[in-house]
């Protein structure tokens, strides 16, 4: 069973890889605080080790000049993996979750979700105690040149319960799959549910075809989260209008090193800098979400060909 192999990998890496044991131990002591935006509960986590990702330089020049940390030949010698299809399951040495995995393709190919939704849903079933997530190349991925998913243990991100407690507005049904728009502005999560992978994959494709691709980019801007609850799959699509919020680029007092990706939009905002952790509140989260998420009216207009 892959689930047991992965659990064994985690236990071994925690013992054998000093950086991992140190960073997972530090995670046990991180500060966090709860913040409400509208009727949605978010959390802020003060996590200094995550500066490597939040402040990652992801412009083309910087990416070309560094050695890809997801390619097998460049990984630390301590890092071991579990093979699954054309992917390898690795422990994430800079964790946000008590159980945090990185799942790169075995080949160095661009971060692109097209034709990989079924893989994501297969992973969600195999690792059914995890949420599998995907950050678009311009939406928080720190290796936009190397295809990868991540996984974090269930019961950590608020979005899991938000999806259960707020059904939202039905956008369309396709065979066994349905798509709802949650009433969680300014985040505006789109939620697919289905009891089978082909219907969910096909209905995602229907949505995907309607989304705009900005000049110079390879796919529509999005973050995805998927999990399997034993009966059906849930796939959350967070459409983005922007990568990093203006506070990320501000100078002096206004600057906040917050680079939102799946986990932040999923309910846990990561702040590697202590002063940012102290400052982050309902207003800050609301402003960031409004800035980086596609608006409800834009989503409804884009999806109007699907509406029933």
Q: How far from the centroid of its chain's Cα atoms is residue 58's Cα?
A: 16
Q: Name the site residues for Zn ion (rule: CB under 5 A).
A: 68, 70-71, 108, 146
| Identity of the residue, 64 or 115, whose beta carbon is nearer to Zn ion in the bound complex | 64
Tokens of 264: 């932040």
CA neighbor of 101 nearest in space, from 129, 74, 72: 129
Instruction: Give the nearer residue to Zn ion in terms of CB position, either 102 or 293.
Output: 102
> Which CB, 145 or 219, lies closer to Zn ion?
145
Q: How far is the CB of 137 from Zn ion (least distance, A)?
A: 13
Strand order in the sheet with 87-91: 82-84, 87-91, 100-104, 148-153, 130-135, 222-228, 233-239, 190-194, 177-181, 169-174
- Give min distance, CB of 80 to Zn ion, in A: 17
For residue 87, the minimal CB distance to Zn ion (Å) is 13
In whole angstroms, the minimum distance from the beta carbon of 108 to Zn ion comes to 4
Measured from the CB of residue 62, what is the shortest distance to Zn ion in angstroms? 14
CB 157 within 8 A of CB 177: no
Structure tokens at 131: 């949420």
Q: Which residue has the closest beta carbon to Zn ion?
A: 68
Closer CB to Zn ion, residue 144 or residue 260?
Answer: 144
Closer residue to Zn ion (CB): 45 or 102: 102
Give min distance, CB of 217 to Zn ion, in A.
20
Instruction: Return the number of the residue (72 or 302) whose C-beta is nearest Zn ion.
Output: 72
CA 141 to chain centre: 9
**For residue 230, is it left (φ>0), alpha (ψ between -120 and 50) or beta?**
left
As a whole number of angstroms, the distance between CA 122 and CA 119 comes to 5
Is-contact 260 241, C-beta < 8 A?
A: no
Please state the closest distance from residue 73 (CB atom) to Zn ion, in A.
9
Contacts of 53 (CB under 8 A, 6+ apart): 94, 142, 259
104 vs 272, beta carbon nearer Zn ion: 104
Buried b (16+ CB within 10 A) or exposed e, 240-265: bebbbbebbeeeeeeebbbbbbbbbb
């Amino acid at each position: 069973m892959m689930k047991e192999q992965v659990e064994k990998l985690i236990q071994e890496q925690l013992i054998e890889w000093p950086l991992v044991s140190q960073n997972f131990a530090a995670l046990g002591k991180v500060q966090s605080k709860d913040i409400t935006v509208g009727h949605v509960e978010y959390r802020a986590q003060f996590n200094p080790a995550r500066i490597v990702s939040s402040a990652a330089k992801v412009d083309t020049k910087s990416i070309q000049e560094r050695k890809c940390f997801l390619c097998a030949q460049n990984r630390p010698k301590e890092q071991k993996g579990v093979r699954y299809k054309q992917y390898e399951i690795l422990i994430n040495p800079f964790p946000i979750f008590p159980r945090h995995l990185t799942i790169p393709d075995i080949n160095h190919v661009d971060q692109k979700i097209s034709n990989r939704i079924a893989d994501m849903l297969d992973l969600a079933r195999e690792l059914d105690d995890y949420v599998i997530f995907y950050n678009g190349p311009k939406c928080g991925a720190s290796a936009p040149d190397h295809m990868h998913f991540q996984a974090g243990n269930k019961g950590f991100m608020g979005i899991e319960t938000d999806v259960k407690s707020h059904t939202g507005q039905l956008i369309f049904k396709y065979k066994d799959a349905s798509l709802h728009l949650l009433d969680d502005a300014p985040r505006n999560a789109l939620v697919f549910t289905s009891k089978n992978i082909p219907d969910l994959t096909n209905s995602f494709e229907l949505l995907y075809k309607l989304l705009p691709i900005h000049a110079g980019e390879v796919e529509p801007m999005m973050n995805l989260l998927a999990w399997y609850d034993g009966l059906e799959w849930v796939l959350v699509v967070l459409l983005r209008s922007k990568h990093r919020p203006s506070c990320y680029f501000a100078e002096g007092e206004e600057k906040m090193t917050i680079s939102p990706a799946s986990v932040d939009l999923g309910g846990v905002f990561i702040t590697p800098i202590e002063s940012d952790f102290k400052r982050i509140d309902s207003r800050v989260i609301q402003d960031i979400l409004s800035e980086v998420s596609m608006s409800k009216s834009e989503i409804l207009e884009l999806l109007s060909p699907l509406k029933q």
